[in-house]
Each structure stands twice: as structure tokens, then as C-alpha cells.
């Protein structure tokens, strides 16, 4: 072989050159094997390939957005060339000039450096990028860019073999376990850069993980910066049932935190976000049910104790009618008798409420004139000797007759008129109106008071809901009114303020009209 490389008739300079090249090659190989690669050589190699796994640390750039890149690079390349190279890199990475995530900006910087390397060489390209697109060295801890490493491993997956392939499969399995965990999970670095945002958290928050991974915590949409900051700064976790508003709805979230530390750890924190909204509502319903049960027992006891003296009062009123012929006393006795009957109705309603709210009486089927019932209710309101500075008007037509129990409907109207009176200012007005529509009649109480507080509007007919001061209202009036109207196969509508008016409240009752066949025997058989 040597005779082929060094023939006998070869000139001396040829042999010297060949021997020199051989020696240089051998020395290069030996030195390369026994010395470490320098930082400059490593940087030059990385600059030639944007797919290199070894990358710089996770540092922010001086440029705040991708739109700032052309102005920085124009100092070295000129406006036209800088804009062209930035647009080329943005298109390759599918990014927009408004991109501001630190991770995306680092990828854009790397892509520009790789593109420039093919035009002017690795060293020149690196010098330009380092000088005009520099990193910002903050006081935050610096760690490796794990997300970019993983993305490169995904690209190299088909090239891995042996143990490397097995390790990559294990990494992918752990990654998918976290991504598809049915509990919200996010990972934040020590510099508050978001490293992971799994699918459960995306569904809960309505924020796609791809749009926020690599961004800072303070750039997330509210309320997430404050919410995540509270658990990161908390000395003890978890934080139970934190009230937040997402998608226009109220949620209660429980947050857990785990700090990543140790010799091989890259730092950061893992935060679990659990949605306990349904549990919160269930707990409140259980408390509410327990409260209603205890109040129901109390109501049954009170109704029993009230029933005995009411029976005595009713007996005395009946005896009074036989002991005198004075018209005034007889009228008073009749009023006492009527009021004791009304109290008896209320006591029966309390007993029905104490037994689960089931109606204690059969479905009413007698005729009841709305004008007459309204007049009786107004008479009882005036007997209270309060609210005399409020003007009451009964504008119900006399020909509207509904199917129902006049006494119980009077109780409903008294409750509505009493609430309307309390809501009005001095010289206020309360108006009772009525009309018909198809087979139903509408019966409305309209006032010009301060209206209903929006915080209680959605639970207005729940038992013990009241806006009156302590000792002035039990909160049972509207609840019993709702139950009575429901027993009459009617419904209640509330408008506060009424349409076309700046203030006040309008409560409309819908009741079935009385028909001639409502008194037939089969009409009474409605509760079987």
C-alpha cells in the first residue's frame, strides 16, 4: 500500500506533503480523543443546527415581543434584511409578531441564528445574535430549557434505539400520565415560567395549554395569576375552596402545592387544582336541609301550642255572639272568628311545612272573586294600623273569578301587600291589578318601593329568606305564599323593577279561572 501512495519516482515535495498530512491527521485524532470540546467549538456546532438538543439556559430576552426583533436586528442587517429574516423565522415556527412568551422568543432567536449561519457562517451569526438579541440575566435561578429538550426528543424519537428508546418511552408515559390526569395540574419554574398545563386544567380554565406554556404567571388571564400566586406564597397548603369566577360562573377550587427540590431537581413547583364546586353546593344543601328539618320540628311544636289557645279564642267569640245583641260587638265577634280561622289556616300551613311541605288540604275548587279577596286583604292590612301613609288601590275587575280557596288566597295577598307596604317610602303607592289570558287569570301587586335586593332575588321564595331587620320578619310569608299558589296549580312571577319603570316591584300571580264544572264530584278527587 505504501508503494501505491509513495511511488519511487515521486518528487520529494510530494512525499513530504503526504507524510505531513498523515502526521497532522493522527495528531488531530489523538488530541480530539484525549481533550474536552471547548465552549466556542460547542457554540459553533449548535449554531449550525436548530435541532440540537443541547441548548442555552432558560433565560428571558431583552426583547419583550417578537415584534421587537426587527428593530434590534436592523442595527446589524438593515431594516429590509432584518424584517425579512424575522418574518421567515416567524413563519417557520408558526408564531405571530405579538408573541411574548419567553419560551417562544427563545425559539425564535435560535431559528434566526440558524438561518443566519447558513448565510454568513456560524461565528458571525452567533456574534450578531448575542449582541443585538441578548438574554436578560435576572436574579431568578437559571435552569435548563426542559420543554425545548422534550420537543427535540419528540422529533428524534424515530432515531432512538436500545436503552435510549426505552428511556424515552418511560418519559413519554410519565408525561402522558400528567397530561391526562383528571385533576388540574400546572408546573411553574422558580422564575414563574409556566412549564406544564394539563388537559383537565385547560377544560376548567378554558385556556389552552399550547397558548400559555412558556409564558410567565403574571401574563395569564385573571384570576389565575392571583390564584396561583396565593398558593405559591402560602406557608401551608392546601388552600381549601377558594371562590373564583370562571366563564361567568362561580367556582370553588382547592389548590395543593409541591415544591421540587433535591440534588437532581431543576426546581420549581407543582400545583394541583381540584374543582370542589359541586361538593360546596352539596354541603350547603345538606346544611340547609338540616336547618329546615330543625325549623320544621320547631314549627310543628309551635303550631301545636298555638292551636289550643286559638281554639279557646274561637269558642269565646262564638259564645259572645249569643251573649249580646249589640251590632258593634257582634261585628267584632265575627271579625275575631274570621281571624281565628285565618290563624288556623296558617297553623295548618306550618304543619304541612313541618311534614315536608306536602299540602295538608285538598286542591281548592270553589269560586273566588279576585276583587273581593283583594278587598278583604286590604281590610286586614288597615286593621294593623301601620303604613297608613301608603296609598292602596284595588283596580281588580269584579268579573274575574278563579278556582281556589278565598281564605288562603287572602293570606297570600296579605303577605304581598304587607311586603309592598314595608318597601314603600312615605306617600308611596301600592296597586292591585288583575286580568285574564286564555284559561288563567293574572293577579298583580305593584309598588314603587326600593325594589328587591339582587342578592336574594334568586332565593326569594325559600323559607326564612328575609331582608328585614332581626325581629321584624320571619321569612316564611313568601315561602307559604308560594306553597299556596302551587297548591292552586298556579305560578308566581317577580319583576324588580317592573318593565318601563325605574324602581319598584311587581309580583304577578297566575291562577286557573273558575269553570262551571269545577264543582262536579270528580273535580274534588284531585289528590288521589
Listed range (113-117, 257-261, 505-509, 518-522) with the worst mean pLDDT: 518-522
Of residues 151, 156, 168, 141, the one with CA closest to residue 111: 151
- pLDDT one-digit tens code per residue, 497-512: 888 888 899 999 999 9
**Vertex 498, ends 495 and 499: CA angle to 5°?**
115
429: helix, strand or coil: strand
Flag whether pLDDT at 256 surpasses 90: yes
How sure is the predictor about 41, in pLDDT bands with cuts at 50, 70 and 90? low
Sign of CA dihedral 33, 35, 37, 41: negative
Q: Please, what is the average pLDDT of the chain?
A: 80
**Residue among 37, 23, 121, 131 at smallest CA distance from 76:** 131
Residue bearing the bigger pLDDT, 258 or 387: 258
Q: Is 238 exposed, middle or buried (0-12, 13-18, 19+ CB in 10 A)?
A: middle
Question: Is the pLDDT higher at 18 or at 138?
Answer: 18
Q: Which of 178-192, 275-289, 431-445 shows the highest mean pLDDT?
A: 431-445
* CA nearest to 49, candidates 102, 125, 101: 125
3-state SS, 306-337, equals: HHHHHHHHHHHHHHHHHHCCCHHHHHHHHHHH
Answer yes or no: are the C-beta atoms of 272 and 228 closer than 8 Å: no
- Whether a cis peptide bond, with omega within 30° of 0, leads into 443 is no
Give me the numbers of helices (H) and strands (E) for the chain, helices first please: 19, 12
Task: State the Cα–Cα distance between residues 343 and 345, nearest whole angstrom.
Answer: 5
Please compute the mean of the pLDDT values over residues 277-301 and round it to a whole number.
Answer: 76
Looking at residue 384, what is its pLDDT?
A: 62
Residue bearing the bigger pLDDT, 470 or 276? 276
Q: How far is CA 262 from CA 178, 249, 265, 266, 272, in A?
A: 21, 40, 5, 8, 20
Q: What is the 3-state secondary structure (H, E, C) of 49-97?
A: CCCCCCCCECCCECCCCHHHHHHHHHHHHCHHHHHHHHHHHHHHHCCCC
Q: b/e string for 366-391 if b means 16 or more Cβ within 10 A?
A: ebbbbbbbbbbbbebbeeeeebeebe
For residue 527, name the pLDDT band (cuts at 50, 70, 90): very low
pLDDT over 70 at 472, yes or no: no
pLDDT attached to residue 280: 85
pLDDT at 252: 92
Region 168-173: what's the mean pLDDT? 84
**Domain annotation for the chain: domains and CATH numbers:** 1-31 (no CATH), 36-136 (no CATH), 150-275 (3.30.450.20), 282-354 (1.10.287), 367-524 (3.30.565.10)
Which pLDDT band, with edges at 50, 70 and 90, does 186 fall under?
very high
Check residues 125 and 152 and name the one with the higher pLDDT: 125
What cell was used for 483? 306553597
Among 140-144, 213-217, 456-460, the range of highest mean pLDDT = 213-217
| Chain position carrying cell 400545583 | 271
Alpha helices in 66-208 (DSSP H): 69-77, 79-93, 102-120, 122-132, 146-155, 162-179, 199-205
Confidence of residue 362 (pLDDT cuts 50, 70, 90): low
Q: How long a stretch of residues is the chain?
A: 528
Peptide bond into 238 cis (omega under 30): yes
Report the C-alpha gap between 377 and 78 in whole angstroms. 88
Residue range 147-175: average pLDDT? 77
The tens digit of pLDDT for each residue in 108-122 reads 988 898 888 888 888
* pLDDT reported for residue 36: 76
Preceding peptide of 329 cis, ω within 30°: no
pLDDT-derived band at 323 (thresholds 50, 70, 90) equals confident
Structure confidence at residue 521 (pLDDT): 44
Report the chain's C-alpha Rg in angstroms.
Answer: 42
pLDDT of residue 2: 52
Q: Which of 129, 134, 135, 136 is nearest to 76 (CA)?
A: 129
* H or E stretch at 270: strand 269-275
Distance between CA 426 and CA 449 in Å, rounded? 10
- Report the pLDDT averaged over residues 472-483: 69
* pLDDT score, position 522: 42
pLDDT at position 468, please? 57
| pLDDT at 520 exceeding the cut of 50 | no
CA distances from 459 to 146, 244, 360, 494 (A): 52, 21, 24, 12
What single DSSP character describes residue 440? E
Q: How far apart are CA 508 and CA 502, in angstroms?
A: 18
Question: Quick one: what percent of the chain has pLDDT higher than 70?
Answer: 79
Compute the Cα dihedral for 460, 464, 469, 473 and give only its sign.
Answer: positive
Band (pLDDT 50/70/90 cuts) for residue 397 is very high
Residue 147's pLDDT is 66
Q: Pick from 26-30, 214-218, 259-263, 505-509 the range whose average pLDDT is largest.
A: 505-509
DSSP code at position 36 = P
CB-count exposure of residue 470 (10 Å: 0-12, 13-18, 19+): exposed
**Mean pLDDT, range 378-388, rounded to an integer:** 72
Q: C-alpha grid cell for residue 239?
A: 388552600
Amino acid at each position: 500500500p505504501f508503494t501505491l501512495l509513495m511511488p519511487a519516482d515521486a518528487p520529494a515535495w510530494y512525499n513530504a506533503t503526504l507524510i505531513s498530512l498523515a502526521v497532522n491527521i493522527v495528531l488531530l485524532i489523538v488530541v480530539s480523543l484525549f481533550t474536552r470540546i471547548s465552549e466556542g467549538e460547542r457554540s459553533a456546532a449548535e449554531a449550525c443546527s436548530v435541532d440540537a438538543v443541547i441548548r442555552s439556559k432558560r433565560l428571558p430576552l431583552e426583547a419583550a415581543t417578537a415584534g421587537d426583533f426587527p428593530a434590534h436586528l436592523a442595527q446589524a442587517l438593515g431594516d429590509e434584511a432584518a424584517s425579512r429574516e424575522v418574518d421567515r423565522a416567524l413563519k417557520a415556527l408558526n408564531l405571530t409578531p405579538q408573541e411574548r412568551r419567553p419560551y417562544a422568543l427563545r425559539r425564535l432567536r435560535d431559528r434566526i441564528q440558524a438561518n443566519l449561519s447558513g448565510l454568513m457562517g456560524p461565528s458571525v451569526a452567533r456574534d450578531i445574535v448575542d449582541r443585538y438579541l441578548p438574554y436578560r440575566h435576572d436574579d431568578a435561578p437559571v435552569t435548563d430549557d426542559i420543554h425545548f429538550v422534550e420537543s427535540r426528543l419528540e422529533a428524534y424519537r424515530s432515531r432512538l434505539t436500545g436503552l435510549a428508546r426505552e428511556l424515552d418511552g418511560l418519559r413519554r408515559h410519565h408525561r402522558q400520565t400528567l397530561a391526562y390526569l383528571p385533576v388540574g395540574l400546572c408546573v411553574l419554574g422558580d422564575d414563574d415560567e409556566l412549564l406544564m398545563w394539563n388537559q383537565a386544567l385547560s377544560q376548567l380554565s378554558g385556556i389552552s395549554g399550547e397558548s400559555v406554556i412558556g409564558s410567565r404567571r403574571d401574563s395569564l388571564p385573571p384570576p389565575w395569576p392571583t390564584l396561583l400566586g396565593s398558593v405559591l406564597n402560602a406557608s401551608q397548603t392546601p388552600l381549601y375552596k377558594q371562590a373564583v369566577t370562571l366563564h361567568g360562573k362561580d367556582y370553588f377550587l382547592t389548590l395543593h402545592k409541591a415544591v421540587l427540590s433535591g440534588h437532581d431537581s431543576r426546581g420549581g413547583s407543582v400545583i394541583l387544582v381540584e374543582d370542589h364546586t359541586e361538593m360546596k353546593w352539596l354541603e350547603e344543601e345538606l346544611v340547609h336541609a338540616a336547618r329546615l328539618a330543625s325549623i320544621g320540628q320547631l314549627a310543628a311544636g309551635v303550631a301545636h301550642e298555638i292551636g289550643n289557645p286559638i281554639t279557646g279564642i274561637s269558642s269565646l267569640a262564638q259564645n259572645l255572639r249569643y251573649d249580646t245583641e249589640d251590632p258593634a260587638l257582634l261585628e267584632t265577634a265575627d271579625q275575631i272568628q274570621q281571624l281565628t280561622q285565618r290563624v288556623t289556616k296558617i297553623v295548618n300551613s306550618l304543619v304541612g311545612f313541618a311534614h315536608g311541605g306536602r299540602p295538608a288540604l285538598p286542591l281548592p275548587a270553589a269560586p273566588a272573586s279576585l276583587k273581593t279577596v283583594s278587598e278583604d286583604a286590604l281590610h286586614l292590612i288597615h286593621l294593623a294600623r301601620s303604613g297608613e301613609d301608603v296609598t292602596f288601590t284595588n283596580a281588580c275587575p269584579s268579573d274575574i273569578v278563579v278556582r281556589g280557596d278565598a281564605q288562603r288566597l287572602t293570606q297570600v295577598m296579605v303577605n304581598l301587600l304587607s311586603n309592598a307596604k314595608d318597601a314603600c317610602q312615605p306617600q308611596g303607592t301600592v296597586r292591585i291589578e288583575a286580568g285574564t289570558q286564555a284559561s288563567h287569570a293574572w293577579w298583580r301587586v305593584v309598588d314603587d318601593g326600593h325594589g328587591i335586593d339582587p342578592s336574594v332575588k334568586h332565593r326569594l321564595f325559600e323559607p326564612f329568606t328575609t331582608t328585614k331587620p332581626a325581629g321584624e320578619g320571619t321569612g316564611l310569608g313568601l315561602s307559604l305564599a308560594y306553597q299556596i299558589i302551587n297548591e292552586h296549580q298556579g305560578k308566581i312571577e317577580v319583576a324588580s323593577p317592573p318593565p318601563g319603570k325605574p324602581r319598584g316591584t311587581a309580583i304577578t300571580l297566575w291562577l286557573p279561572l273558575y269553570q262551571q264544572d269545577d264543582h262536579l264530584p270528580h273535580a274534588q278527587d284531585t289528590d288521589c
